[in-house]
Amino acid sequence: MLLEGKNALITGCARGIGHALMTAFAREGANVWAFARKESASFMEDCQALSQRHGVWVRPVYTELTNEAARKAAFAQVLADKQPLDILVNNAGIMGEDRLFQMTSEAEMRSIFDVNFFALLEVTRFATRLMARRSRGAVVNIASVAGLDGDSRIDYSASKAAVIAATQKLAREYAGQGIRVNALAPGYTDTDLVSGLSQKVRQETLARILLGRPADPMEIAQVAAFLASDRASYVTGQTWRVDGGIL
């Protein structure tokens, strides 16, 4: 019960790493505002099942994070609950199709940055204002090894590099307010996000991983839960690789 009694806001919860984050945090005792893009009966059922199973509340919040009006409406839902916010996990992200720089349009690159970077900053702005009221909190940004190694398409790699740089800056800015800011850099993880990768790229990636397999999303979520917990109280401004040992 690493997160017992804490309230967390997690973005991109409908599938993949985000769904694992929601599940892991509820299992560790956290209440969760579970942000997702589209409303669905199955997602609502998942939230209800987690609430009942672990004795916490998991509240779905549906929003398009790149739309300012929709984002503000989602924040209003969080505020209406009149609950303190202890943890933010910025997970929502997109990758796009695997293609070379010369084949990638400016519009595609801007759309990647809108979701992966600018929306993340706006959610962080909202969350840290709430955390600052109590002079404590933890932010975990889900980046990528692509942001460190530059081994994915240029817009995705650059957007995740921007997240890592922002993590370091925000950690400096918020340390005096008791707010820790860290990032996770997952490697090749078994999610829909990597479904656009070619078979050749997948095989080449697996060949570089010491453990010889992709990560399960829950393996990423468990590290995020630790970073968000009080057990990581002296960790801030860091980017933790969770990549199975990429050489």
pLDDT digits (tens, 9 = 90+) for 168-179: 999 999 999 999
d(CA 119, CA 145): 20
* pLDDT bucket at 109, cuts 50 / 70 / 90: confident
DSSP state of 209: B
- For residue 239, pLDDT beyond 70: yes
Least confident of 12-21, 72-81, 92-101: 92-101
* pLDDT bucket at 106, cuts 50 / 70 / 90: confident
Domains and CATH numbers, the chain: 7-241 (3.40.50.720)
Is residue 186 within 8 Å of 140, Cβ to Cβ?
Answer: no
Over residues 28-37, the mean pLDDT reads 98
d(CA 220, CA 228): 13
More confident residue, 213 or 195: 213
Catalytic residue of the set 62, 156, 174, 188: 156
Over residues 81-102, the mean pLDDT reads 87
Both tokens of residue 201?
């790229």
On the CB side of 241, CA atoms within 13 Å amount to 13
- For residue 159, pLDDT beyond 80: yes
- For residue 195, pLDDT beyond 70: no
Q: CB burial class (10 A; 0-12, 13-18, 19+) of residue 167?
A: buried
Average of per-residue pLDDT values in the chain = 93
* pLDDT bucket at 102, cuts 50 / 70 / 90: low
pLDDT of 67: 96
Q: Of 74, 91, 194, nearest to 140 (Cα)?
A: 91
d(CA 16, CA 20): 6
Helices (H), the chain: 16-27, 41-54, 68-80, 106-113, 119-132, 146-149, 154-174, 199-207, 217-228
- For residue 194, pLDDT beyond 70: no
Both tokens of residue 225?
């839960």
d(CA 124, CA 57): 22
* pLDDT bucket at 191, cuts 50 / 70 / 90: confident
Question: Does the annotation count 234 as an active-site position?
Answer: no
d(CA 224, CA 12): 14
